[in-house]
Structure 1
Amino acid sequence: MKVQPFTIGLVQMRCAADRTENLDRAAHFVREAADRGARVICLPELFQSPYFCQMEDTALFDRAEPFDDSPSLRAMQAVARETRTYLFVPFFERRAAGLYHNSVALVDDRGDIRGLYRKMHIPDDPAYYEKFYFTPGDLGFVAFDTPYGRLASLICWDQWFPEGARLAALRGATVLFYPTAIGWHPYEKETHGAAQRDAWRTVQRGHAIANGMYVAAVNRIGFEPSPTDELGGLEFWGSSFVADPQGVIVAEAPTDEETILLAEVNPSRLEDVRRNWPFLRDRRIEAYDGLTRRFLDS
C-alpha cells in the first residue's frame, strides 16, 4: 500500500516535579498537535518528571512503572484513542526488582500498544548518571508497522551511534524518532555550548543522510537545578528538529520555548533520495565483520 504524505508532531515541553501535572500537560499538547493535523506524535524522554539522573538515589526507583500497569501509558493510551493518533510515549520501566529500563512504547490510534523499545546505549557522565538506573535494552533496534509506514524510535544517547540508526533503517524504518533529554552544564555553556549543540544536530542529520530517512529529535526545555550541587544543574537546550532524507532541517524549535513542532513526511521524497543516493545498495556487507568487535587490535 502506497503511503501518502502525513504530518508528525514533536512535543517540546518543560517537566515539572508532579507527574500528574506533566501527564496532563503532555495530553494537552498532544490534543493540540492532533488538532493541527499531526498523525504521529512523539513526547520527550522521561517527560513524567524532572531529569532525575542528575544524582544517584535508590529511592528514585520508586518512580518506575511496570509495562503492563503503567499510569503514564494508560493516560496516553486514552489520549491516543481520543485523538486517533499514534503516540511514542517514553517512560521509566520497572521490569523486575532491581531491573529497570529507559523505554518508549508506541501506542496506536485505538489506544493499543504496538511496540516497545528499550534504550540500548546508556550514558554515565556528570549529571547524566543513567547507568545507575537503567539496564541496557535487550529488544534490539526495532521498527513498527503502522498505516504511515514503518516507524522506529531510539532514545537520547542512542543518537550518537550510527549503528543503531542504520539497523533501524535496515528494519524498514522511514522515520526515526529520538525522544531526548539533553542540555548544557551551566559552567561550560559559554565555552563549549555552541559546539555541543551543533554536534548533536550534525550527527543526527548524518543519520538521516546516510540512511535516506527522516529523523525527528524531540527535547525538553528549562533549567533543572541539581539536587546535590547548588552550582550545578542542567539547562536543557530544546532545539527539537526534523531532518529530511537529505539532512535538510525542515522544522526546528527554539532553545527555550515550549513548542509543538510539526513537519510533513513524504514517502516519495525518501524514495527519490534513495534512488539518487543508493547507500543501502552500495554497502559492502561482506567487509564489515569488524563492526561486531570492541576494537580492532593489531
Structure 2
Amino acid sequence: MDSLDNIIKNRLNKDQLKQFNKIYYGTEDNCELELKESTKAESVKGNFEVAGYSFIAKKEELRKPNVLRLGLIQHSIVLPTDKPISEQRQAIFKKIEKIIEVAASEDVRILCLQETWTMPFFLCTGEKEKWEEFAEPAINGPSTLFLSKLAKQYEMVIISPILERDEDGKWWNTAVVIDEKGDYIGKHRKNHLPSVGSYSETSYYAPGNLGHPVFDTKYGKIAVNICYGRHHALNWLMFGLNGAQIVFNPAATIAEFGETFWGIEARTAAIANHYFTCSINRVGTEEYFINKDKKVRTYYGSSYVTAPNGCRTPGLSKDRDGLLIVELDLNLCRQVRDQWGFNMTSRLDVYAKSIEKKLCP
C-alpha cells in the first residue's frame, strides 16, 4: 500500500491540496528539497524511496542561521529469519551502507536508524536462546565498528539502535551514539517496555537505567526516545528539560499497536517541548517458525519529522525501504519557545508535588 500522504496528494486538485496541507501538515507548501539526480538514480538502483523536505526559521539579527540536514532510514530485513545470524546481519550492513552513502552525498550530518536495525524483530517469538548472538557490546560490537568507519568517513553523527549485551551478560534495548569522528560518545537504554499481545520485551531485558541523556554533538543537542517510550508524555518531557533540540524515536511497530496514533504522539511532543522529533519505523514482513507454527509480523514504515511549531513532513512509504532527508534550522526551537511560552507557564513544581503525594502518600 502506498503512503496515506501520496493517496491524498494524488486525489486532490491544487487548491484543495493547499487547504489540506495547511491543516494537516501545518503549511500550504511541504517545502520539498531539490535532491541530486545522482541521489534519485541511486534510490532506483537500490530499490529504496528517497524524499527530502525543509523547515524554515525566521532570520534573526544577532544569531546566524543554524542549518543542518538530518537523515532517517527505514528498512526491511534482507534474508529469511532461519539463515545464519552472521549472514543476516551482514546482508543488512550491505544494504544500509549504500543508503548511508546516498545520505552523505546530500550532506546529511545526523542520521538515525530504526529500532534494533541489525536484525529481525524476533521479540514477538517468545524465544531467546535462538537469537542470542544478535546481542552485542555497545562500544565495540560489530554494528558500532561498522558504523564508526562510515561516521568518520562522512563526518556524520550516527544513532545506532541495537540489542546490547553488557559486561555482565545482560541484554538491553539500546541506542548507541557515534560522533562525526567515528567515536562512541554514549548510549541510551529504552525506558519503557511493552507487554502487549505477543510482544513481551520484559522477558528479554529490563527497562533502561540511564535516565534521559542528551548528547551535545558538533551539530546539535540530540536525544533518543526508543519506540514504546513515545506513549509516555513525561519521557518526552525529560529530554526537553535536559536540553534536547532533536529527539529521535526509532521504532519497530505494527498496525495493531497504534498505527492510528503514529502520526500524533511525536508531533504533539514536538509542540509541547519545543524541539524537533524524528519518527523512524521499520518496513517489511518478517516470518518465524516456532514449533512448526508460523508467526508473521508486518511493519508499516511511515517515517516522518515534526518541527517545534507543529509542522510535519509527509511520511515515507508504508512498505518500501526509504531515506528521509530533512533540512532544518535549530534556531526554530528557541523562536517557538519564546513565542508560545510553554516552558514559562509549565508549572512543573505543582505537578512534582502532586506526583510525590501519589508516590509517597
TM-score, length of structure 1 as denominator length:
0.90
Residues 88-113 of structure 1, C-alpha deviations (whole Å, 9 max, x = no match): 01111111455210001111111001
Residue 238 of structure 1 is aligned with which of 301, 304, 308?
A: 301
Report the Cα offset of residue 212 of structure 1: 1.1
2:152 aligned residue: 81
Structure with higher RCO (Cα < 8 A, 6+ apart): 2
Q: Aligned equivalents of 1:163 and 1:97: distance in 2?
A: 30
SS of residue in 1 equivalent to 2:199: coil
Structure 1 residues 137-286: aligned runs within 5 Å: 137-185=208-256, 196-228=258-290, 230=293, 232-286=295-349
Residue 128 of structure 2 is aligned with which of 51, 58, 61?
A: 58
**After the TM superposition, which of the residue ranges 11-20 and 171-180 deviates more from structure 2?**
11-20
Q: How many percent of aligned residue pairs carry the same amino acid?
A: 27
SS of residue in 1 equivalent to 2:209: coil
Q: 1:296 to 1:200 in 2, by over 3 A?
A: farther
1:189 aligned residue: none
2:164 aligned residue: 93
Matched, 1:36 2:98: no
Q: Aligned equivalents of 2:319 and 2:133: distance in 1?
A: 30
Rg bigger for which structure? Answer: 2
Structure 2 unpaired stretches of 5+: 1-62, 80-87
**After the TM superposition, which of the residue ranges 268-277 and 156-165 deviates more from structure 2?**
268-277
**After the TM superposition, which of the residue ranges 211-220 and 65-74 deviates more from structure 2?**
65-74
Q: Aligned equivalents of 2:322 and 2:112: distance in 1?
A: 12
Report the Cα offset of residue 252 of structure 1: 2.0
Report the Cα offset of residue 71 of structure 1: 0.5
CA contact (8 A) 2:139 2:184 kept: no
2:95 aligned residue: 25
Q: Aligned equivalents of 2:246 and 2:354: distance in 1?
A: 24
TM-score, length of structure 2 as denominator length:
0.75
Q: 1:297 to 1:106 in 2, by over 3 A?
A: closer
Counterpart residue identity of residue 201, structure 1: G
Residue 69 of structure 1 is aligned with which of 131, 140, 144?
A: 140
Structure 1 unpaired stretches of 5+: 186-192
Counterpart residue identity of residue 237, structure 1: Y
Report the Cα offset of residue 270 of structure 1: 1.7
Aligned residues: CA RMSD:
2.1
Counterpart residue identity of residue 135, structure 1: A
Counterpart residue identity of residue 239, structure 2: A
Q: Name the count of aligned residue pairs.
A: 289
Residues 251-294 of structure 1, C-alpha deviations (whole Å, 9 max, x = no match): 42111111110111212222221111111111112211256469
Residue 185 of structure 2 is aligned with which of 106, 114, 118?
A: 114
SS of residue in 1 equivalent to 2:94: helix
SS of residue in 1 equivalent to 2:72: strand
Q: Aligned equivalents of 1:2 and 1:147: distance in 2?
A: 16
CA contact (8 A) 2:73 2:280 kept: yes
Residues 196-228 of structure 1, C-alpha deviations (whole Å, 9 max, x = no match): 323121111110010011000111101112433
